[in-house]
Structure 1
Amino acid sequence: MFIGITQRLICNQSYFEERETLALDWGRLFNLEIFSGFLPLPLSYEIDFSMYEKHLSAVILSGGNDLSIYDHGALSCKRDDYEKKIIKYCLKTNTPLLGICRGAQMIAHYFDSSLNSCINHIGNHEILLNDDANCVVNSFHNYAITALGKDLISLAKANDKSIEAFKHKDKNIYGIMWHIERENGLENVNILKEWLNLIKEKQ
């Protein structure tokens, strides 16, 4: 089963070339038992998403880049436009969708949540899940989700009360602010397993 993954957009500095990139961490992640039976399919922004649809069991909106509401550059705008189409598709078809860090911000913003600049969200920090379990997660973002739109439910919060994980009330859409593909990204996998089980149920 293929899980489509959106990629970070960068512009090469030594000579002009726009690039789509995924960290090697993603390949290592899909070698773990928790992702057994799944293969990642990097999505190109130069290929219309409709060309991918029939091949995908789920989609992950990965991290990297700021949302265009904070960075009005062409790359951020291009990525936002593409990921909005993915969200609309997943809403229409109930295809499982997972946002990671920037991806979670994108989903939260789409559903009218509030985001604000934050401090102390670079490095590891403790979060509290809805089942009252504590765990330490990695953190690499400068903008936090401070309030969720009416269609989203909080699953975990940081000590500053910002939202660290959420899901949609009715659709198979989840967001996680930490990077599951990086070190300290899998200390607690309950939310990830819940989302992966949605994919298996749809097969």
Structure 2
Amino acid sequence: MFIGISQRLLSNESYYELREALALDWGEFFRENLKSFLPLPLSYEINFKTYAPHLKGVILSGGNDLATLNPSPLSLKRDAYEAQILTHCLEENLPLLGICRGAQFIAHFFGSTLSPCENHTQEHAIRLTNDTQTTINSFHNYAIATLGQALEPLAFAEDGTVEAFRHRGAKIWALMWHIERANGLNERSIFREWLENLREKR
């Protein structure tokens, strides 16, 4: 059983070559936390619908800014592909999880507001909507200031920005922290909810 995962796009500096890359952290994360599944890295040169019949769910990983925040050819390419993924997940009710940049992309897709932020490149506290608190890792320079109407907040940073949310009707969740890195699962309930939906899909 496979979970599709989008990759960071890189431009090699020593000679011209565009690369798709997935951090080794993800392999360790699957080995420890998703033992029934294998990661299937998604190539931007292959139509997502080719992958879709083989997937139990999809993760939009971190890396690269959104083109609306920091325009570049790589960001534009990634935005276009992840829009294809998100549209398919909506149409087919395929569970989707956005991580950091992936969360930003989902938020932007549904009309949320993103803005530059400070002190989000280090560990910091978050408060869940059930009033529990924890500390998570953080590696982003843009935060989600307000959510679009289709989205429901699940956690906030101390500055009031949104750290986690879900879609009100579809099987879509998003986290601004990196579950695959150290302290990424200090808060597990949202990840577990997404995971339970994977297991329900036949």
- TM-score scaled by length of structure 1: 0.98
Separation in 1, partners of 2:115, 2:68? 11
Partner of 1:12: 12
Per-residue CA deviation, residues 49-85 of structure 1 (Å, 9 max, x unaligned), is: 1110111110000000000002221100000000001
> Structure 1 runs of 4+ off > 6 angstroms?
none
> C-alpha deviations, 1:146-195, integer Å up to 9, x for none?
10000000000000010000000010001100000001101111100011
Deviations along 1:98-144, one digit per CA (max 9) or x if unpaired, are 00000000000000001000000001000001121111100000000
Indicate the residue corresponding to 1:72 in structure 2: 71
- One-letter code of the match for 2:175? I
Aligned AA for 2:19?
A: R
- Secondary structure of the 1:156 match is strand
Question: 1:178 is matched with which residue?
Answer: 177
TM-superposed deviation, 1:36: 2.2
Match of 1:52 in 2: 51
One-letter identity of the residue aligned with 1:42: P
CA distance in 2, matches of 1:22, 1:15: 20
Q: Which residue of 2 aligns with 1:37?
A: 36
**One-letter amino acid of the counterpart of residue 18, structure 1:** L
* Structure 1: tracts of 5 or more residues without a match: none
Equivalent residue, structure 2, for 1:3: 3
Cα distance in structure 2, aligned partners of 1:7 and 1:110: 18
Opposite residue 64 of structure 2, the aligned amino acid is N
Count of aligned residue pairs for this structure pair: 202
How high is the TM-score relative to the length of structure 2?
Answer: 0.99
User: Where does the alignment leave 5 or more consecutive residues of structure 2 unmatched?
Assistant: none
Name 1:23's counterpart in structure 2: 23
How many percent identity over aligned positions? 56
